[in-house]
Structure 1
């Protein structure tokens, strides 16, 4: 389980928010404090010497922060800094007696090590105090704060985790001190690549000169520069560190040393200024070069420029707020599975790219594609699926599923071969934007005006939906059921009970399908999103209705397709929507969370019976569908890593507090609430229905002010976490949603208590 620490919101507000009095940073043309994390290619390469010399050039206030120190206290790095750069505040957070790796040092001292999250929170707190000092001084200053790591880039922190992983959520720009000794070219480039693949912004590498006997000088910086300059990285050589008997203060006062570090300081501030100018330029020009999906450009407002991301958070830039952090409330369009900036994911994909690039797939195999298919068959496909067909996205994967189901139906009922077929589906469904699946839905904003070829090809049921209304779970019964009432439930547990049955569903479904068949309709497949319709407005479909629909279609020999592009792989708190229903499909479609939120990939799983329907004497009878990048190795490797990280998830998981959801359902602006797994959906009262409605915009704007990035689905506001997100993080985000929608409303409290 990964935790995305609370410290990140507060740190970014202090670092970059314009709302902190008149302190404004991350704004081009304004003197900005510079906060850097100092990394070393190895231990003993001069990180503390560099930090000390740089701090002597800084305007005040300045800060040296050492999260972890090992070795005797009299030799502590912070003590040296305070002596040589006395104007800087020098702080050590955790000290251990033995000069060994921090994890071993903590063990030898018999001290309980801090968690990685706690270590980052304490570091953020120290930086926060420094930046608050600047706020109090009301000073637009080129102050400097340095966070110095211990040992090499991949040395451990006290918990045993690699510090390059442990500190990633702080999202601080990196300054790397190279190894000037023999063998240092390799260690420096290894540290550089380790930081880069984890998403660190490494702009500069500094080596100290290393003069050997006979005045021979190693020039590691020359070799390293040849490698990294293509990435736009600057490499410098500082004057050699003096012998141990020469006081560091004398070294720093030497004109050559003083000039070098003054120039280095200017360079580092210029790098920061250039970064902010580039972000500003992208933010200004983006709307002139992009054609955005699902966006009306005539009403396009300010574009959000995303500088980086980590966990459930986005580091964004815009001209109003500068560089600031936002909760990724929409899971980057429902794809974020293992958290942004996941180091293990980056390494898995990098290895696949380096080993394969992309290789041909038909009548071939490779390890990532084989391992992912095996994992899917033993996971979401266990007990029913026999084959995995790869494609590039959810919409295409549903098209593949339809071809599979239609062939299976034709083989089972050859007398119907050649007749036009329709699907059985649910009103409000959405299965993608390719032409075939657009026809698998009723008329809506997604299809009516998009193509003259659109023709709705199905028998569609208005589904009974469930939600929290005024604190009570209810099933809203459509008119065709003959019920003139809603079903009141004791709670969501009753709704999700796999043994729950509503007899009227079965009888009315049978009656409707009988009538359609009597009029000559031929059914080719049942196509549904199990349990929750995503793009349809986060609508929770009564599971008892879907079970009845599956049972009736199966009785007629109609193949069953579950579109789990959105619902599958722990999005709903269970491994699959099928698992929540307690029934399995003939064909299942998975995408989005399949690669954890990295690259496009989709998989269509099929039963053995469906696969055998394509047996024949020639290729014409095979499944003739595919694309150039089928089963691309980097995507499959991402899928394998995502499945590995999901392995620890068990049972039906809760992420959002149900009691708070109940309170939200009583808010004045809220019509109903849906909460299931990682999804929290709130329908806002307002004019219009469907995707084109605009009632939720005012709530979205207020959430943005609270640091939550979201997009509406018509009148529906939704928030979702990753399946790996800690419950405490969800609680913090839910407090923001509660504050936005209730504002301490007395009516809300009374309705929730009723």
Structure 2
């Protein structure tokens, strides 16, 4: 392999690259040239565009095969000698890049490296002194082969370059059969979220096919199909072609269209951002305090690409998982294909007394996964809140059937203070008085008995369990570390005694019945990102079981690897009667939830009349698109099971760094579990969800390209279950700097009591 990529003097800077990779009238233009197949003339198209401007230009060929016989950079230099050209990776064999890399036994360039090198090259070009003050310079990145041709790693090019999402110019095939090839390439790009402002077709010699007319009828209105002047025969030089007035006029027209299209794109983003403040009623937002709106142009992996300052795009790392849903990465092509296939195969079909493949396969996977060993039935609903409401109906019926003498009593639940189960009216009543429900509706009633739980965190570098007053403990529990916290052997007799006495007192009065225990296993999400002592929750489950109270695990947030395990029950060593799953269920693509239960719970609804059945459902119950996304997501999580078999503790966040942060003056505690890291700040801004103590740190992170949203005085970060630890290390370093800039200094360890 010939490695033509040279070391660049400037350090790689993603934000700088994104700010430069913009296109608008009077601004630099970056385009990626794609082909519907190999041999359709991409390099000729590139040369024509590069010759259409007198401003500085760059031609970049990330991957070249058949070198040096085929050398597209050299061909560009022949017709446009003033163009800066660069080839990053060249292979001798004139075959697909993955095969060439294998035949030449070279070290395979990774997708991430190839994408990063491409960005870095563009950044270097625009940052150089020669181009610093140029507004109409042009950079072209020409791909190898067709849209779905593989790169050196074997991944498809359309997937490799997707994080860049550069404006795409597609060169179609004007020959017989070219309509199908061109539209297939176009639809493959659209499915992956690319913008394709133009398709170019070199005129076909006979003039009979007119592929461009047929293609224009099938593409989106914003995609314009251009007919370029016919190319000369292969044995005739292109010099005269590029000197032809008609050819020059065509490429000038194409160049102007592409600049105009990009200008319109940014104008639309600016207008959308401005008008959004007038038309939206945002969730969880006080509009009298509405600040700058984040305008998201696209998203990929764990990043947003946001529009900023008129004609700039820049990345922001999404550390809240888009409200805790991102499981397989934004814009995942495999999930998009699964969704597209389901949409094309089914659209939406009704589910009552019917079955179809995506719904069947997803239910089987959930029952065999988090429900393995205890669950036998799966009930679909629309979102997490309704999934928990379904669970309540199931539990209450089961309790009524098991305790007929208590059916006449008002029903309450047992829960934890600080729990959050959603925003529908039923589950709001299953949470203790808080900012989420107190002023929201006059119908709110705390219809439960809520235990304030003992919570674990790292405080001043030490894992401790903070004990609430009602347990009568005079001091907190100091632990040797995380392993002791989650040890199945650890118990606390005070937990068992106090819980049992409380339950017996409630039930003994015969004034109310307890229909269910409803809790988030191990971790409170909306309640402040807190770890509940697993020993306490084990004692609570055991006490309820002894009294015939059904157990519901609300795993909408905690389930499906959010906590580093498939289900929170693995950390507790206890299984529920009913559990609800959502959010990560579809990997962060479409709303869907599922409630699973034991056979005994299902049997509580058996009877001779339909009135005895579970009369609950939604128009889009088990919709095929959501189920297909769920199947694909659970397939992606399967690798985590294999990793867990090797190492039971999947670690994302560096605990030594977390311990160090916990010693900072204004930090009350730090929590790390699975994909979540949270820092509780103190000292200002009040308390609860409406507190503002973490706002400044969140703003610091946004200034550093990290999209964070505080939860009261808690600033938290979240990765996906398939994230790499190096990504978390980078985020943790940024968080540390943000805390330090906000004046949070290290505690002098000698002063600790």
Task: Specify if TM > 0.5.
Answer: yes
- Aligned match of 2:137: 143
Q: Does structure 2 retain, via aligned residues, the 8 Å contact 1:43–1:151?
A: yes
- Mapping 1:614-625, distance limit 5 Å: 614-625=605-616
- Which of 239, 243, 268 pairs up with 2:258? 268
- Which of 128, 147, 153 pairs up with 1:153? 147
- Mapping 1:347-496, distance limit 5 Å: 347-496=337-486
- Aligned match of 1:698: 696
- Rounded to whole Å, the distance in 2 between the matches of 1:498 and 1:139 is 65
- Rounded to whole Å, the distance in 2 between the matches of 1:27 and 1:449 is 47
- Rounded to whole Å, the distance in 2 between the matches of 1:700 and 1:445 is 21
Q: Does structure 2 retain, via aligned residues, the 8 Å contact 1:82–1:90?
A: yes
Q: CA deviation at 1:668?
A: 2.6
SS at 1:210 equivalent = coil
- Aligned match of 1:3: none
Going from structure 1 to structure 2, the CA distance change for 1:745 and 1:285 (only over 3 Å counts) comes to closer
- Aligned match of 2:62: 67
Summarize deviations over 1:316-361 as a string: whole Å, max 9, x none. Answer: 1133793211000100000001000100000000000000000010
Q: CA deviation at 1:747?
A: 4.7
SS at 1:67 equivalent = strand
SS at 1:381 equivalent = coil
Q: Does structure 1 retain, via aligned residues, the 8 Å contact 2:464–2:479?
A: yes
- Mapping 1:522-541, distance limit 5 Å: 522-541=513-532
- Aligned match of 2:42: 47
- Which of 95, 98, 101 pairs up with 1:103? 98
Q: CA deviation at 1:710?
A: 1.1
Q: CA deviation at 1:593?
A: 0.3
- Aligned match of 2:162: 168
- Which of 59, 74, 77 pairs up with 1:79? 74
- Aligned match of 2:7: none
- Rounded to whole Å, the distance in 1 between the matches of 2:443 and 2:744 is 52
Q: Does structure 1 retain, via aligned residues, the 8 Å contact 2:697–2:742?
A: no
- Mapping 1:620-659, distance limit 5 Å: 620-650=611-641, 651=644, 652-659=649-656
SS at 2:433 equivalent = coil
- Rounded to whole Å, the distance in 2 between the matches of 1:221 and 1:447 is 59
Q: CA deviation at 1:83?
A: 1.5
Counterpart check, 1:550 vs 2:552: no
SS at 2:721 equivalent = coil
Q: Does structure 1 retain, via aligned residues, the 8 Å contact 2:23–2:30?
A: no
Q: Does structure 1 retain, via aligned residues, the 8 Å contact 2:531–2:671?
A: yes
- Aligned match of 2:117: 122
The runs of 5 or more residues in structure 2 that have no matched partner are 1-10
Summarize deviations over 1:59-118 as a string: whole Å, max 9, x none. Answer: 432111111111131420011011111111111111111111111111222222211111
Summarize deviations over 1:518-553 as a string: whole Å, max 9, x none. Answer: 233311000000011101110111111000000000
- Which of 700, 705, 724 pairs up with 1:726? 724
Q: CA deviation at 1:369?
A: 0.2
- Which of 680, 693, 699 pairs up with 2:677? 680
Q: Does structure 2 retain, via aligned residues, the 8 Å contact 1:663–1:752?
A: no
SS at 2:305 equivalent = strand
SS at 2:626 equivalent = helix
- Aligned match of 2:314: 324
- Rounded to whole Å, the distance in 1 between the matches of 2:555 and 2:440 is 24
- Mapping 1:706-725, distance limit 5 Å: 706-725=704-723
Q: CA deviation at 1:10?
A: 5.3
- Aligned match of 1:601: 592
Q: CA deviation at 1:515?
A: 1.7
Q: CA deviation at 1:655?
A: 0.8
- Rounded to whole Å, the distance in 2 between the matches of 1:429 and 1:124 is 44
155-164 vs 590-599, greater mean Cα deviation: 155-164
Counterpart check, 1:280 vs 2:274: no
- Aligned match of 1:14: 16
Q: CA deviation at 1:478?
A: 0.5
Q: Does structure 2 retain, via aligned residues, the 8 Å contact 1:385–1:607?
A: yes
Q: Does structure 2 retain, via aligned residues, the 8 Å contact 1:667–1:745?
A: no
Q: Does structure 2 retain, via aligned residues, the 8 Å contact 1:426–1:463?
A: yes
Summarize deviations over 1:358-379 as a string: whole Å, max 9, x none. Answer: 0010000010000000000110
Q: Does structure 2 retain, via aligned residues, the 8 Å contact 1:666–1:748?
A: yes
Going from structure 1 to structure 2, the CA distance change for 1:424 and 1:746 (only over 3 Å counts) comes to closer
SS at 2:561 equivalent = coil
How many residues are treated as equivalent by the alignment?
A: 734
Q: CA deviation at 1:221?
A: 0.7
Q: Does structure 2 retain, via aligned residues, the 8 Å contact 1:666–1:752?
A: no
SS at 1:211 equivalent = coil
240-249 vs 476-485, greater mean Cα deviation: 240-249
- Rounded to whole Å, the distance in 1 between the matches of 2:128 and 2:726 is 30
- Rounded to whole Å, the distance in 2 between the matches of 1:506 and 1:699 is 40
Q: Does structure 2 retain, via aligned residues, the 8 Å contact 1:471–1:752?
A: no
SS at 1:341 equivalent = coil
Q: Does structure 2 retain, via aligned residues, the 8 Å contact 1:471–1:751?
A: no
158-167 vs 525-534, greater mean Cα deviation: 158-167
Q: CA deviation at 1:26?
A: 4.8
237-246 vs 428-437, greater mean Cα deviation: 237-246
- Aligned match of 2:662: 665
Summarize deviations over 1:301-329 as a string: whole Å, max 9, x none. Answer: 12111100000000011337932110001
- Rounded to whole Å, the distance in 1 between the matches of 2:666 and 2:31 is 44
Q: CA deviation at 1:496?
A: 1.3
Q: What is the root-mean-square deviation of aligned Cα atoms in Å?
A: 1.8
The runs of 5 or more residues in structure 1 that have no matched partner are 1-8, 18-23
Q: CA deviation at 1:120?
A: 1.1
SS at 2:396 equivalent = helix
Q: CA deviation at 1:622?
A: 0.3
- Which of 556, 563, 583 pairs up with 1:572? 563
Summarize deviations over 1:671-727 as a string: whole Å, max 9, x none. Answer: 111111110111111232110111111111101111110111111111101111111
SS at 1:571 equivalent = coil
TM-score scaled to structure 2, two decimals?
Answer: 0.95
Q: Does structure 1 retain, via aligned residues, the 8 Å contact 2:23–2:29?
A: no
SS at 2:128 equivalent = helix
- Rounded to whole Å, the distance in 2 between the matches of 1:402 and 1:452 is 21
Q: Does structure 1 retain, via aligned residues, the 8 Å contact 2:131–2:137?
A: no
Q: Does structure 2 retain, via aligned residues, the 8 Å contact 1:528–1:563?
A: yes
TM-score scaled to structure 1, two decimals?
Answer: 0.95
